[in-house]
């Protein structure tokens, strides 16, 4: 029997466009920038394309919020190595903070959202600080508990509007602004985080995941680094939550819902972790899917979990890595 | 006095709940975030066997627990075995399976107060001047029986010793011919059946509601973190601490704060002694 194996070879254009050489000709430039430009242009045009369908414009907004959560989960899990099982915590804290700034302190929308992002990130970081100096599953355990805990506290003490939530938040001045605020935020943070990973600090952060002892041996405080990473990600998450609260004009207990924790995880697993781009692609698949599955109610979470488990077990590389391979390499069967 | 009596009952309940989680973690180093889901599944199975299939009560409990043990073992054999060692995937996978089970049951109609199991013992008696119903006493009795059985199992039987060997040093145990995967399957089966047993004992005290799945998970995780992840005696001591703390908060504050207490206890533990009360010298391993 003839034994063959699959051989993968980089495409010529991929090799030619590596590093500085990519500026040698328009073709190479397009090869490198094409997929990224496609994403940016597609996202920016989406609200205009969906002009006739206001409902789906709203879905795009929510999709971008999930996208923010997914890139922050991806950054935390696959770069720094901290698995956050409670993305809802960021959304909830951000949403409630913006409600406090906007309703109680009468800040305008575009001041309240950044303020909520900063203060919420600070709160989340301080709350998560005790488990940052430790390895292992502690971070996952503590983040799992916080969203449940916030719900209980707000119910029990009947603060911040209790079970009714805080109503009467200002909405965005016009629907286009509503769309583009979140789309631009998503793009900024997506490319910002990718940039950050290529900086020195990104290298050190990846070192924290791979070998924290050697990072420590280089005289760098691992707990500080982790706190910085948690601050960045919770800032992104809280901004998403603040935006969502203004979109609904309401901040309530459903901001701590399970969906905000599980969809980003599923999106990252489906899209492929480590590059942020996979996370965004995963959300763009999952969130519209969940709109079609609205009929099923909570059964949607079961579907996400099954897809997620399937991907983790059988296709742990994710879709993006798969397509990137097809884009960069060709495959052929070779005799051994 | 009622604080003492109910404190002990609550503590034994908690340690029954958390023992499964601790056992699985100590042997396979896998945090089983599906623990609460397995607990509630057993309740659902027993209810189904009892009402839909019309089996008698002890038989349906037995079958329910066995089925849960089988689900736990299959969870390891079919899914977790493939991602062993990839820490992030392990956490996500167990969490996803747990969520799938809980939300699936919620969708399948497990809500409201229609799901109740009959209690085994309906009488009540007075102990130390406090009246306690027999079902709660049964929890304590069975709880201590389970501790004793588990103790003898891991100290005297071949499989039990193998489990302890894997828990203490996986590589050395493998060199002595103990199959780590087989032992992990056994651990998952035992851990799940402990979750099932506690469900069979505790659920007759109230309704079967899916939210209990999350609560059980949170409290069992809290107990095993405080006792030291993977330490069985530590888990029992910690469950007495948390159990009494819960009863005290319920008496002096309100029952809503029970989860706050659990989380506070975790955070204090992580700040002061991250390896827990009886964590075995893992401090060097776990602190960065």
Q: Vertex A104, ends A91 and A169: CA angle to 5°?
A: 55
| Helix (H/G/I), strand (E/B), else coil: B89 | helix
CA distance A17 to A27: 9
CA distances (Å), origin B272, targets B231, B232, B265: 18, 20, 11
Among all chains, which residue has been given the structure tokens 């697993």? Answer: A269
Which 3-state string (H, E, C) describes A167-188? ECCCCCCCHHHHHHHHHHHHHH
pLDDT class of B107 with cuts at 50, 70, 90: confident
Q: With an 8 Å Cβ cutoff, is B257 touching chain A?
A: yes
CA distance A233 to A236: 5
Q: With an 8 Å Cβ cutoff, is A258 touching chain B?
A: yes
CATH class of A4-335: mainly alpha
Q: What is the pLDDT of residues B202-250, one digit of tens each?
A: 888 877 788 888 888 888 888 888 888 777 888 888 888 888 888 888 8
pTM to 2 decimals? 0.88
Take residue B148 and report the two structure tokens written for it. Answer: 């004793």
Q: With an 8 Å Cβ cutoff, is B271 touching chain A?
A: yes
CA dihedral A62, A65, A71, A73 (to 10 degrees): -100
CA distances (Å), origin B269, targets A296, B23, B104, B225: 41, 20, 34, 8
B107 φ/ψ angles, rounded to the nearest 5 degrees: -70, -35
Q: What is the pLDDT of residues B87-97, one digit of tens each?
A: 888 888 998 99
- Mean pLDDT within A215-231: 91
Take residue B97 and report the two structure tokens written for it. Answer: 């399976």
Q: Give A-chain residues touching B214 at CB under 8 angstroms.
A: 148
Residues comprising chain B, all counted? 288
Q: Are B286 and B230 in contact (CB under 8 A)?
A: no
Q: What is the pLDDT of residues A267-322, one digit of tens each?
A: 998 988 888 889 999 999 988 888 888 777 778 888 888 888 888 888 888 888 88
Cβ pair B288:A134 closer than 8 A: yes
Q: What is the CA radius of gyration of chain A?
A: 21
Among all chains, which residue has been given the structure tokens 């409670």? Answer: A86
Average pLDDT, rounded, for chain A = 87
What ipTM goes with this model?
0.84
Q: Give B-chain residues touching A145 at CB under 8 angstroms.
A: 218, 221-222, 259, 262-263, 266
With a cut of 70, say whether residue B280 has pLDDT above it. Answer: no
Q: Are A94 and A240 in contact (CB under 8 A)?
A: yes
Q: What is the pLDDT of residues A58-111, one digit of tens each?
A: 889 999 999 999 999 999 998 888 889 888 999 999 999 999 998 888 888 889
Q: With an 8 Å Cβ cutoff, is A286 touching chain B?
A: no
Query: Considering only B72-81, B179-188, B250-259, which range has the smallest mean pLDDT?
Result: B250-259
Q: Are A5 and A332 in contact (CB under 8 A)?
A: no
CB atoms within 10 A of CB A77: 29
| CB-defined contacts A:B, below 8 A | 134
Q: What is the pLDDT of residues B125-161, one digit of tens each?
A: 777 767 777 788 888 888 899 889 988 888 888 888 8
C-alpha closest to that of B46 among B220, B219, B147, B195: B195
Q: Are B3 and B248 in contact (CB under 8 A)?
A: yes
CA distance B239 to B228: 11
Q: Are B42 and B64 in contact (CB under 8 A)?
A: yes
Q: Give A-chain residues touching B83 at CB under 8 angstroms.
A: 312-313, 316
Take residue B264 and report the two structure tokens written for it. Answer: 């506070």
CA distance A86 to B33: 13
- B198 alpha carbon, distance to own chain's centre: 7
pLDDT for A75 equals: 92
Q: Are A165 and A250 in contact (CB under 8 A)?
A: yes
- Mean pLDDT within B186-203: 89
Q: Give the DSSP H/E element, type plus range, for residue A251.
A: strand A250-251
- Residue A84 C-alpha, separation from nearest chain B C-alpha, in angstroms: 9
CA distance A126 to B122: 49
CA distance B63 to B67: 6
Q: Are strands A166-167 and A4-10 parallel, antiparallel or unpaired?
A: unpaired
Cβ pair B103:A298 closer than 8 A: yes
């Amino acid at each position: 029997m003839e034994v063959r194996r699959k051989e993968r070879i980089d495409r010529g254009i991929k090799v030619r466009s590596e590093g500085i050489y990519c500026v040698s000709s328009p073709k190479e430039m397009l090869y490198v920038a094409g997929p990224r430009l496609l994403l940016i242009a597609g996202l920016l045009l989406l609200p205009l394309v969906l002009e006739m369908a206001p409902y789906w414009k709203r879905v795009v907004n929510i999709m971008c919020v999930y996208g923010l959560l997914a890139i922050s989960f991806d950054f935390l899990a696959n770069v720094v190595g901290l698995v956050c099982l409670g993305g809802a915590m960021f959304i909830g804290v951000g949403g409630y903070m913006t409600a406090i700034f906007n309703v109680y302190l009468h800040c305008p929308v575009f001041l309240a959202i950044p303020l909520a992002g900063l203060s919420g990130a600070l709160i989340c970081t301080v709350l998560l600080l005790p488990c940052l100096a430790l390895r292992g599953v502690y971070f996952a355990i503590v983040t799992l508990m916080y969203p449940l805990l916030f719900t209980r506290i707000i119910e029990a003490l009947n603060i911040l509007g209790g079970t009714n939530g805080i109503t009467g938040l200002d909405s965005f001045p016009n629907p286009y602004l509503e769309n583009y605020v979140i789309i631009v935020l998503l793009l900024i943070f997506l490319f910002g985080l990718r940039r950050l990973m290529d900086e020195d600090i990104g290298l050190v952060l990846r070192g924290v995941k791979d070998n924290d002892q050697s990072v420590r041996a280089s005289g760098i405080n691992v707990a500080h680094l982790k706190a910085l990473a948690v601050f960045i990600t919770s800032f992104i998450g809280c901004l998403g939550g603040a935006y969502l609260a203004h979109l609904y004009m309401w901040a309530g207990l459903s901001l701590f819902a399970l969906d905000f924790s599980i969809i980003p995880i599923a999106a990252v697993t489906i899209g492929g972790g480590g590059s942020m781009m996979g996370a965004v692609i995963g959300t763009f698949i999952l969130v519209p899917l969940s709109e079609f599955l609205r009929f099923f109610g909570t059964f949607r979470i079961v579907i996400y979990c099954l897809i997620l488990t399937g991907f983790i077990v059988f296709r742990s590389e994710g879709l993006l890595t798969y397509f990137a391979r097809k884009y960069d390499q060709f495959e052929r069967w070779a005799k051994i | 006095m009622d604080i003492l009596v109910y404190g002990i009952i609550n503590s034994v309940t908690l340690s029954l709940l958390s023992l499964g989680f601790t056992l699985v973690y100590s042997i396979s180093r896998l945090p089983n975030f599906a623990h609460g889901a397995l607990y509630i599944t057993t309740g659902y199975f027993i209810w189904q066997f009892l009402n839909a299939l019309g089996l008698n009560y002890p038989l349906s409990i037995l079958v329910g627990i066995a089925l849960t043990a089988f689900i736990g073992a299959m969870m390891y054999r079919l899914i977790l075995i493939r991602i062993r060692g990839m820490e992030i995937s392990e956490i996500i996978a167990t969490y996803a399976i747990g969520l799938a089970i809980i939300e699936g049951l919620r969708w399948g109609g497990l809500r409201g107060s229609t799901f109740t199991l009959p209690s085994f013992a309906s009488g009540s008696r007075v102990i130390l001047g406090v009246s306690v119903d027999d079902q709660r006493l049964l929890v304590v009795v069975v709880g201590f029986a389970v501790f004793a059985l588990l103790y003898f199992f891991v100290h005297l039987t071949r499989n039990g010793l193998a489990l302890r060997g894997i828990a203490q040093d996986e590589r050395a145990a493998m060199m002595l011919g103990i199959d780590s995967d087989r032992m992990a399957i056994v651990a998952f089966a035992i851990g799940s059946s402990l979750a099932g047993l506690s469900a069979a004992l505790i659920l007759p005290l109230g309704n079967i509601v899916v939210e209990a799945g999350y609560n059980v998970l949170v409290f069992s995780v809290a107990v095993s973190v405080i006792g030291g992840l993977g330490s069985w005696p530590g888990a029992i001591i910690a469950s007495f601490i948390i159990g009494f703390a819960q009863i005290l908060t319920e008496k002096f504050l309100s029952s809503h704060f029970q989860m706050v207490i659990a989380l506070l206890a975790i955070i204090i533990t992580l700040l002061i002694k991250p390896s827990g009360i009886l964590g075995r010298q893992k401090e060097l391993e776990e602190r960065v």
